[in-house]
Structure 1
Amino acid sequence: MPGWFDLSVPVVTGMPVYPGDPEVTVAPALRVPADGVNVLRLHLGSQSGTHVDAPYHVDDDWPRLDELPLDRFAGRAVVADVRGLPARTPITPGLLAPALSHLRLAPCGILLLATGWSAHWGSTRYLAHPWLTPQAAEALVEAGIRTVAVDALSVDPTPAPGEPVTGCGLPAHRVLCGSGGVVAENLTGLERLIGAGDVEVFLFPLRLPAADGAPVRAVARVNRPVGEGRCRTLPLPWQS
């Protein structure tokens, strides 16, 4: 299955956003019949759609988006397959053990966390995704991971409808971003990379000065079949 894979959700009016974030609107601003060109007007937040979080997202004293090295947004990746977990299940170091074991043998800078939750994009169930415990985030940092990308709304638990958004603390964000790392969220279609060989991922954001984050066009390139790559998907014990 070598080739290119788009891992991004489309940016459209009314798309899902994190509770409290700006709603997304995409509408014509100029049209060929009247203006000679087609131009869209975009209204969205920096955390809209498939996006990356800079450390500044969770701490005023941490690096902003344009202060991060470009290698945070591209590199070889390993896919941790944690599909099949119930709603709001914490992802512990034990669940990541196969990926952590592989990282000790074949270091990679990016972890793709495949929860399967992108299947719920557009429904209220999308808010009830599994989430990364701080201990699991610490284990990833210790293994050399500097970018974690997930096919869910957040690496931390998202409040249910009606619950307050403030005060959750975003502990996994703080561990990953506190190491100078990057979090990417709202990826889609990670299951297509499960069982792949040598995977490269590209998550380059819009160049927004002093930003907390920005939308990205998340893309993966699979270079070699299973068994020939340095970083690959590893199943959980119940998936073996």
Structure 2
Amino acid sequence: MCHACVIEGVRKSMLSRRGLLRGAAAAGLASAAAGIGSARAALAQAKGTAVDLTHAYDGSFPTFDGNPGIVFEESVNFDASGYQIWKLTIYEHTGTHIDAPMHFSKDGASVDALPVENLVAPLCVIDLTAKAAEDANATVLREDIDAWISANGAIPAGACVAMHSGWAAKLGDPSFRNTPDGAFAFPGFSKEATDYLAELGAASIGVDTLSLDPGNSADFAVHYSWLPGGRFGIENLANLDKLPAAGATIFIGAPKHRPGTGGPARVVAVV
């Protein structure tokens, strides 16, 4: 074979590879653009006001088992060393935190594997305050979701649907967690509601209480059905009363330890 033929063959091969690389790059950019487009769509109605949906917490923050959810141990003292460091012992499900699929599913996704596109989402806030004032264990029902849809339009795909029960205002009082006789009592979602939200394409749910399930739940039906489906929840949200029913975008600063069943999160909404 002549040298000219070899050179021409190599040239064509290089041009072909360049074409493939350009195509791959274009496909990658298109995929990234689609993700950016989804985020921009979620932000389309936002005006730029940020609302912190996260409670500051320490060892006194209410927990399910009653034990401190975070413990501080001084590692470096400022007076002695000129700077300060705390060693923290943190239980995953404390304060404003994420429930990842692994929390109630042996083979469920770890918190580090939550799709990043679901951490920036349209936020739908369902007002349950009237029902919660009458019943400490009130639940979001399918009819509450239908009423929201009638007033605000369809639940957007990938949305976070949050229950605003007014319970955050009780933080610091024993009634945030239980009745005077010690029984758990706080609002949550019903399984029929979360099954419906799964059909509608919601990616996450949130509550301003200790649990996705109501306090009097004996079977954690929402945890056992919602989380193993690959979706996640957020518990102990703050300031939902400062948000509209529709139009806000939620930014969920989920932790990224592997493997993790969840963990404390910084959650912010932009209105």
- Which residue of 74, 89, 92 corresponds with 1:43? 89
Counterpart-to-counterpart distance in 1, 2:258 and 2:157 = 31
How far apart are 1:177 and its partner, in Å? Answer: 1.2
Counterpart-to-counterpart distance in 2, 1:107 and 1:76 = 8
Counterpart-to-counterpart distance in 1, 2:155 and 2:202 = 13
Give TM-score scaled by structure 2 length: 0.72
Residue in structure 2 matched with residue 79 of structure 1 by the alignment: 125
Give the % identical residues: 25
Mean Cα deviation higher: 90-99 or 146-155: 90-99
Would the aligned equivalents of 1:7 and 1:187 in 2 still touch at CA under 8 Å?
A: yes
Residue in structure 2 matched with residue 24 of structure 1 by the alignment: 70
How far apart are 1:169 and its partner, in Å? Answer: 3.0
| TM-superposition CA deviations, 1:164-203 (whole Å, max 9, x none) | xxx93311122221321110000111000035x6311111
| TM-superposition CA deviations, 1:188-233 (whole Å, max 9, x none) | 11000035x63111112222101000110111111xxxxxxxxxxx
Would the aligned equivalents of 2:207 and 2:236 in 1 still touch at CA under 8 Å?
A: yes
Residue in structure 2 matched with residue 234 of structure 1 by the alignment: none
How far apart are 1:36 and its partner, in Å? Answer: 2.1
Matched, 1:118 2:168: yes
Counterpart-to-counterpart distance in 2, 1:36 and 1:115 = 45
Matched, 1:185 2:235: yes
| TM-superposition CA deviations, 1:57-86 (whole Å, max 9, x none) | 011121111222112222111111111222
Equivalent residue of 2:206, what SS? strand
How far apart are 1:132 and its partner, in Å? Answer: 1.1
Counterpart-to-counterpart distance in 2, 1:213 and 1:94 = 30
Matched, 1:90 2:139: yes
Residue in structure 2 matched with residue 236 of structure 1 by the alignment: none
Residue in structure 1 matched with residue 213 of structure 2 by the alignment: 156
How far apart are 1:2 and its partner, in Å? Answer: 4.6
Counterpart-to-counterpart distance in 2, 1:155 and 1:187 = 11
Equivalent residue of 2:105, what SS? coil
Would the aligned equivalents of 1:129 and 1:152 in 2 still touch at CA under 8 Å?
A: yes
Q: 1:100 to 1:60 in 2, by over 3 A?
A: farther
| TM-superposition CA deviations, 1:126-160 (whole Å, max 9, x none) | 1221121110111111111111011111111235x
Gaps of 5+ in 2: 1-46, 178-184
Residue in structure 2 matched with residue 139 of structure 1 by the alignment: 196
Would the aligned equivalents of 2:69 and 2:95 in 1 still touch at CA under 8 Å?
A: no
Matched, 1:3 2:49: yes
Counterpart-to-counterpart distance in 1, 2:225 and 2:74 = 41
Residue in structure 2 matched with residue 34 of structure 1 by the alignment: 80
How far apart are 1:108 and its partner, in Å? Answer: 5.2
Bigger helix fraction: 2
Residue in structure 1 matched with residue 38 of structure 2 by the alignment: none
Counterpart-to-counterpart distance in 2, 1:207 and 1:24 = 18
**Shift >3 Å, 4+ stretches:** 20-23, 100-103, 105-108
Greater radius of gyration (CA): 2
Counterpart-to-counterpart distance in 2, 1:210 and 1:113 = 28
Matched, 1:220 2:266: no
Gaps of 5+ in 1: 160-166, 223-240
- CA-based RMSD of the aligned residues comes to 2.1
